[in-house]
């Protein structure tokens, strides 16, 4: 059995799946100020009267780190950066406690200037007095040689709770983005650790020792324990859950827009031939440009429970959610209330929805039904306008999917898949306005939790080799070895795959069903004078994100249920 759990802005959804299909699903209200209790309430409900030994894994999608970054609710973090000659690291300053220090390693991993231990000790003393508890350490070419980061970290280790080193956070060379990525990992660490401990301790108190995993922004998952060292990997896991929940139901050889209409937000993604589009560079969130791989997604502050009001006589919807729809006992009219006016919907009070919209209709001099139509029309048009921005953004650069680069490809959606609580009610309006074929994802109310449950465990490895120096290494994996002058790109790929297999299994992947692939393989000759003196090789391999093996029948049953 597998449990999927998605923490949304309005509801926390949980599903229980086994080989027979969807066995149970529940919803609990999300309290943004106390997310871990929302998670625990959902887990307790979904595991009630269930033998824990039958549960294979739980995959959790959470908005915790995303919300902290967007709301700028981050603790102070110190960053120690060494770059040597070249661009001034001050351009990448992350905050007050940011220190550019002596020490330099070149692009081939050779030390040009040593670090100054006395300087690091002085900085440590200073930031410790300021109450700093988390530190990030980044060197410009630490992915080629992490010696300086390791040395600086060793000096700092006795004084601070957690130190994040740039070469462990990402193996990419982009210096500015590696600084931002390391900073965010350090900044969200205290919040994520508190969440982690609360969930683990509460489950243990109930005698539940379950294998927990977290959904990442790229649609794969990671072990809950591993997330302590990479907490920023959980950023944008909510939109990733939406995309993975729709993957199995997209059409082949077709571009499909995925819309997850929740109570607070609408999350959107794109499928190309049933494969999610990918941002291969990294997440951009708030003012931070990172190296965290992510699906191409967009979230807007517009949902079915967004507040509707009149501003200068014109309808305004969102971005605030001031509680549930009036049809469900709330005090503010919403698009959900407009749907109740226009359609025969069970489970709420249509009369209260009408009463809630009457004052706005009277102020505009129209009937309630006309106002309701205008609200739904505006909601759908704003959602589709945001989708156009997402598609334009994807088409403005080389188009990638989780599987490959789509050379010269132009995204043109032919269909829309909708999920989320009000999906069936919104689908007809979206179809009329967009002129595209619109379908509703099976089990639309909890499809994002199903997507989280069925997502594979993923990871990647970046591997370097320099045949002139006869050294090969994968710094993020703490691996290095000697090679001979005949070492080539094919040998590098083989070695990278070995490292990837070991890493993936340690992360919890199924050893019998590892779909590994090469996402980058570059080889350059190094020339001195008129002679080639060696080769510089860079290889990146990954476990391909997707849905786990063995649940095809479950997906088929969901599609026909």
3-state secondary structure of 461: strand
3-state secondary structure labels for all residues of 149-213: HHHHHHHHHHHCCEEEEHHHHCCCCCHHHHHHHHHHHHHHHHHHHHHHHHHHHHHHHCCCCCCEE
Q: What are phi and psi of 437, to 5 degrees?
A: -75, 125
Residue 297, CA atoms < 13 Å, CB-side half-sphere: 29
Report the distance separating Cα 268 and Cα 273, nearest Å. Answer: 16
Residue 554, pLDDT > 80, answer: no
Report the distance separating Cα 54 and Cα 78, nearest Å. Answer: 44
392 Cβ contact list (under 8 Å, min separation 6): none
Report yes or no: 547 and 555 within 8 Å, Cβ to Cβ: yes
- 340's tokens: 């109740």
Q: What are phi and psi of 142, to 5 degrees?
A: -65, -20
| Residue corresponding to tokens 């994100």 | 545
Residue 530, pLDDT > 70, answer: no
The radius of gyration of the chain from alpha carbons, rounded to an integer in Å, stands at 25
Report the distance separating Cα 357 and Cα 332, nearest Å. Answer: 9
Q: Is the peptide bond before 75 cis (omega within 30 degrees of 0)?
A: no
- Going from the C-alpha of 79 to that of each of 132, 159, 401, 433, 518, the distances in angstroms are 11, 15, 33, 49, 33
pLDDT tens, position by position, 61-120: 887 787 778 767 888 999 999 987 777 888 999 989 999 999 998 887 888 999 999 999
pLDDT tens, position by position, 539-549: 989 887 778 87
Residue 270, pLDDT > 70, answer: yes
Tell me what the mean pLDDT of segment 192-219 comes to.
Answer: 80
Report the distance separating Cα 32 and Cα 474, nearest Å. Answer: 39
Which letter, b or e, does each residue of 271-290 get, where b requires 16 or more Cβ atoms within 10 Å of its Cβ?
Answer: bbebbbbbbbbbbebeebbb
Four-point Cα dihedral 263, 268, 271, 274, nearest 10: -10
Of 466 and 557, the one with more pLDDT: 466
Neighbours of 133 (CB within 10 A): 17
pLDDT bucket at 459, cuts 50 / 70 / 90: confident
Structural domains present in the chain: 78-186 (3.40.50), 248-441 (3.30.420.40), 460-543 (no CATH)
- 276's tokens: 């999610």
Average pLDDT of the residues of the chain: 87
Report the distance separating Cα 514 and Cα 503, nearest Å. Answer: 11
Residue 292, pLDDT > 70, answer: yes
**The pLDDT of residue 482:** 95
């Amino acid at each position: 059995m597998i449990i999927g759990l998605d923490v949304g802005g309005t509801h926390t959804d949980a599903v229980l799946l086994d080989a027979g299909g969807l066995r149970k699903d529940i919803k609990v209200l999300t309290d943004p100020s106390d997310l871990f209790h929302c998670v625990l309430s959902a887990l307790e409900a979904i595991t009630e009267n269930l033998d824990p030994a039958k549960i294979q894994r739980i995959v959790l999608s959470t908005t915790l780190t995303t919300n902290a970054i967007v709301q700028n609710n981050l603790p102070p973090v110190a960053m120690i950066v060494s770059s040597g000659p070249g661009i001034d690291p001050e351009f990448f300053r992350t905050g007050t406690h940011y220190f550019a220090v002596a020490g330099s390693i070149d692009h081939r991993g050779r030390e040009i200037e040593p670090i100054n231990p006395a300087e690091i000790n002085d900085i440590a003393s200073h930031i410790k007095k300021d109450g700093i508890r988390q530190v990030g350490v980044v060197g410009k070419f630490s992915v080629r040689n992490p010696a300086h980061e390791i040395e600086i970290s060793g000096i700092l280790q006795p004084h601070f709770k957690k130190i994040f080193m740039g070469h462990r956070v990402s193996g990419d060379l982009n210096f500015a983005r590696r600084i931002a990525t390391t900073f965010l990992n350090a900044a969200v660490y205290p919040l994520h650790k508190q969440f982690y401990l609360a969930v683990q301790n509460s489950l243990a108190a109930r005698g539940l020792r379950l294998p927990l995993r977290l959904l990442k922004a790229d649609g794969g998952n990671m072990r809950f324990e591993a997330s302590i060292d990479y907490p920023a990997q959980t950023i944008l896991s909510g939109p990733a859950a939406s995309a993975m929940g729709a993957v199995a139901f997209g059409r082949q050889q077709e571009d499909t827009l995925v819309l997850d209409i929740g109570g607070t937000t609408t999350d959107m993604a794109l499928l190309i031939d049933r494969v999610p589009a990918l941002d291969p560079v990294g997440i951009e969130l708030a003012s931070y440009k990172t190296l965290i791989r992510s699906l191409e997604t967009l979230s807007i502050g517009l949902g079915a429970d967004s507040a509707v009001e009149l501003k200068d006589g014109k309808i305004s919807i969102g971005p605030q959610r001031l509680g549930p729809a009036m049809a469900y006992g709330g005090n503010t009219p919403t698009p959900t209330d407009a749907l109740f006016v226009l359609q025969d919907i069970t489970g709420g009070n249509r009369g209260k929805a009408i009463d809630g919209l009457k004052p706005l209709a009277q102020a505009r001099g129209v009937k309630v039904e006309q106002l309701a139509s205008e609200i739904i029309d505006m909601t759908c048009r704003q959602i589709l306008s945001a989708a156009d921005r997402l598609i334009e953004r994807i088409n403005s650069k080389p188009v990638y999917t989780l599987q490959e680069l789509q050379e010269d490809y132009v995204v043109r959606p032919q269909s829309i898949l909708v999920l989320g609580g009000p999906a069936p009610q919104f689908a007809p309006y979206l179809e009329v306005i967009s002129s595209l074929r619109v379908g509703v994802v099976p089990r639309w109310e909890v499809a994002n939790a199903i997507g989280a449950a069925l997502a594979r465990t993923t990871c990647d490895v970046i591997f370097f080799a320099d045949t002139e120096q006869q050294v090969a290494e994968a710094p993020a994996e703490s691996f290095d070895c000697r090679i001979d002058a005949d070492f080539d790109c094919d040998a590098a790929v083989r070695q990278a795959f070995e490292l990837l297999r070991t890493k993936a299994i340690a992360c919890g992947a199924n050893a019998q069903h590892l779909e590994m692939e090469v996402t980058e393989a570059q080889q350059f000759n190094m020339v001195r004078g008129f002679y080639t003196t060696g080769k510089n090789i860079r290889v990146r391999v990954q476990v391909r994100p997707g849905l786990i093996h063995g649940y095809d029948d479950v997906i088929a049953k969901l599609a026909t249920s």
